[in-house]
Amino acid sequence: MIKILSRLSSTAKSKVFDVNYAIDDFSDFPIKYHKNIPNLEDVKVKDYLYRPSDVEGIKLAHDSFMTLLVEGKYAELEDMTEHNFFIKLKEICEKYKKLGYTFQKIGNSDDAAVKIIGVSYFSGGVTPYRNLNLSEKSYYQQPLIDPVSKAPVGVFFRTRNPKSPPKDFSKFNDLDLKALNASDPSQYQDKLEELATLFQWYPLRIKAIDAGIVSSCKLVVLDKKGKPVYGEFDEELKVFRLFRMETIIEMKGWLTAFWNWKTGIKTFIDEQFKGMVGQYYIVDVDGFADGNPYTY
């Protein structure tokens, strides 16, 4: 995502604003204010699983994200974001609130223009629950190839030291992957390594979208006296924002039914990844989480 932001900044066609600064410099604030709107007109992205509803979903996610962040509705915000991204987001926002700052949403999200500027697919021995994945050095990262264009479209994670997993997913039904991801999964390490190997044989597929959003909807920061100290305060002025969103591609068709009968894979995925299958969730905004990689 950082590379995308750097590339887009070189295409910027007009300066939009200068940022006001308070005593605190807000360098770690999750919402960045890019001084230029990049030229997105010439960006071409091939996406063989594109749905027109994707754009409307991104607009809605953008508006909801900004609203919930300003209102401090963290429970609802957590439901639409990746766990590690959410924890970091909440930590920084709470830090500034304790310093006496408040947030305000200005502008209009109805004027948002969305451009999908990057699409990648991820599969193999990883899941969206980052804390349950193995370390980066535990994987070979191989290119995923589009069977039609023969072009690389993503990454397949293959474990360097594969375990001998069971033949189906029933052994893992007692796990609560979401709860484990938010706690300490170390005592389940052997089981998670087995699961990573099994997902190489019967992989779930993750689709990640990088979406550029140009809108007058903005979050600004006020000090204790209500004075604007960070952000752009012209309600009409539009700014650029980059969202990275993910979804688990829903498994469909007779072949899926067969493999589910044989291994229980679809039932396992539907139960363990509720709210992620066929639905987009936010994993990064403006490079705040450095693109939120699957492994470290």
Give the bridge partners for 46, in sequence order. Answer: none
Q: What share of the chain is helix, strand, coil (3-state, %, to 5)?
A: 35, 25, 40
- Check: CB of residue 133 under 8 Å from CB of residue 295: yes
For residue 231, what pLDDT is reported? Answer: 85
* CA 124 distance to own-chain centroid: 18
pLDDT at 32 over 90: no
Q: Is 292 within a domain? A: no
Tell me which of 9-23, 99-113, 223-237 is least confident: 9-23
Tell me, yes or no, whether 294 lies in a domain: no
How many angstroms separate the CA atoms of 34 and 18, rounded?
9
Residue 296 lies inside a defined structural domain of this protein? no
CB atoms within 10 A of CB 8: 21
Residue 106 contacts residue 233 (beta carbons within 8 Å): yes
Confidence (pLDDT) at 41:
75
AA identity, residue 205: R
Q: Give percent above pLDDT 90 in the chain.
A: 65
- Three-state DSSP class for residue 138: helix
- For residue 10, being part of any structural domain is answered with yes
Residues 240/175, Cβ–Cβ less than 8 Å: no
Task: Kindly report which listed range (1-15, 76-90, 264-278) carries the lowest average pLDDT score.
Answer: 1-15
Q: Which of 19-23, 132-136, 151-155 has the lowest mean pLDDT?
A: 19-23
Tokens of 231: 């952000």
Containing structural domain, residue 149: 2-285
- Band of pLDDT at residue 17, cut at 50, 70 and 90: very low
Q: Given the DSSP bridges, would you call strands 281-285 and 152-159 parallel, antiparallel or unpaired? A: unpaired
Helices 253-263 & 265-272 angle (0-180, nearest 10) = 90
pLDDT single digits (tens) 212-222: 999 999 999 99
Look-up of token digits 């994707």: 54
Q: Would 224 be classed as within a structural domain?
A: yes
pTM for the whole thing? 0.89
Residue 295 lies in a domain: no
Q: By the 8 A CB rule, do 196 and 134 touch?
A: yes
136-157: burial string, b at 16+ Cβ within 10 Å, e else: eebbeeeebeeeeeeeebbbbb
Contacts of 124 (CB under 8 A, 6+ apart): 139, 142, 155, 156, 157, 158, 199, 200, 203
Number of structural domains (the chain) is 1
Please write the tens of the pLDDT for every residue from 102-127.
999 999 888 999 989 999 999 999 99
Flag whether 293 is in a domain: no
Per-residue pLDDT tens over the stretch 136-158: 999 999 999 887 788 889 999 99
CA distances to 160, 198, 209 from 54, in Å: 35, 30, 9
Better-scored residue on pLDDT, 164 or 96: 96
Helix (H/G/I), strand (E/B), else coil: 68: helix
Predicted local confidence at residue 148, as pLDDT: 79
For residue 62, the tally of other CB atoms under 10 A from its CB is 22
Per-residue pLDDT, averaged over 243-254, amounts to: 93
> Which residue has better confidence, 154 or 13?
154
* pLDDT score for 48: 63
Give the pLDDT score at 140: 94
Is residue 112 a part of any domain in this protein?
yes
Which of 32-46, 76-90, 198-212, 213-227 shows the lowest mean pLDDT across its residues? 32-46
As a whole number, mean pLDDT of residues 72-79 equals: 97
